[in-house]
Amino acid sequence: MTAFSPAPAAFDPSRDSWPEAWADAAAVQRAGPLLAALQDGAWPPGGWQGRWVAQTTSTSTVLMQAPWPDPQGTAPAARLLVADSQSDGRGRRGRTWRSAPGDGLMVSLDVPLQREDLSGLSLAVGLALWQALQGLLPPAAARRLALKWPNDLAVRPPRGETLPGGRLADKLGGILIEASRFQGQRRCVIGFGLNLRSQPQAQNDPVRYASGHAALDDLAPPASAEVWLQRLLPPLAQALARFDAAGWAPLRSIYAQADLLQGQEVGQVDEAGVWRLLGVAQGVDDSGALLLQGPDGPLRQISGEMSVRPRPA
């Protein structure tokens, strides 16, 4: 695939109205190859609109707050926003995620979903990316790729090696789901980020990189952001269509193949910074909740309510 990188434009939602930014020629042009790849599918019925900007605060915040440029459509299009860098990206529990140009893939999709029950959606998005990467990475690297409940992609160390602090894997990326309604229709903004470039300083900065750092460049021959997104977005759109039709339950058995925490003692860090054991992870249920065998019996944790991590060595 050919990289396509004309000069991008910056979009500041505090300064620019959405229709003006949406009409920016450079942002339109740069998103063209991604939209062409997405338009090959039949979902959603309204098709796709998209832009690729040089910088923004948060791709998800922009899509959540910006009005629709064409509110007359009977089948609203899905919207795609990609940024080279963002100054106020958001993760779970209000964490801020900043990124410099070229460091990662920063993407948000605003999609119309008919399904009312969105349980397991973040797991379905992670699983779609995991499955796509299985076919894109060299076999040895693909075997190291895992999913860490509730919303992370992670990379295990090579066989025979261990990671600092007893962690099981380094973080490759994360997912954030936000739901809203537009003209009575359920819509979801799905934000995901994947580390693209290696960060050698990560091993010397355990505070900033508490979950470790893995990058696509560590796993496969270097490629541009454009090439990676042309490969990842179409299978993700197909997975969203399947989720809209059937939900999470049919995907549960596939998730088990990628589950990083299966069989591991897991717990949470309390407000005092003390780690406490919750139980042994036993996979997820048909709603995407984490199942645990706790000291006093079975437990069920709902996605997004707490941070679950392997027990430190």
Q: How far apart are CA 91 and CA 307, in angstroms?
A: 12
Last residue of a domain, one of 255, 279, 302: 255
Residue 95's CATH number: 3.30.930.10
Give the 3-state secondary structure of 97-161.
Answer: EEECCCCEEEEEEEEECCCCCCCCHHHHHHHHHHHHHHCCCCHHHHHHEEEECCCEEEECCCCCC
Same domain, 29 and 130: yes
Residue 260 lies in a domain: no
**Are 137 and 219 spatial neighbours (Cβ–Cβ below 8 Å)?**
yes
187 pLDDT exceeds 70? yes
Boundary-marking domain end, from 255, 273, 293 = 255
Q: What is the mean pLDDT of residues 17-25?
A: 59
This prediction's pTM: 0.88
Q: What pLDDT score does 62 carry?
A: 87
- Going by pLDDT thresholds of 50, 70 and 90, the confidence category of residue 207 is low
- Are residues 183 and 65 part of one domain? yes
In this prediction, residue 216 has a pLDDT band, given cuts at 50, 70 and 90, of very high
Whether residue 59 is found in the same domain as residue 111? yes
The residue ranking higher by pLDDT, 224 or 274, is: 224
Together in a domain, 56 and 204: yes
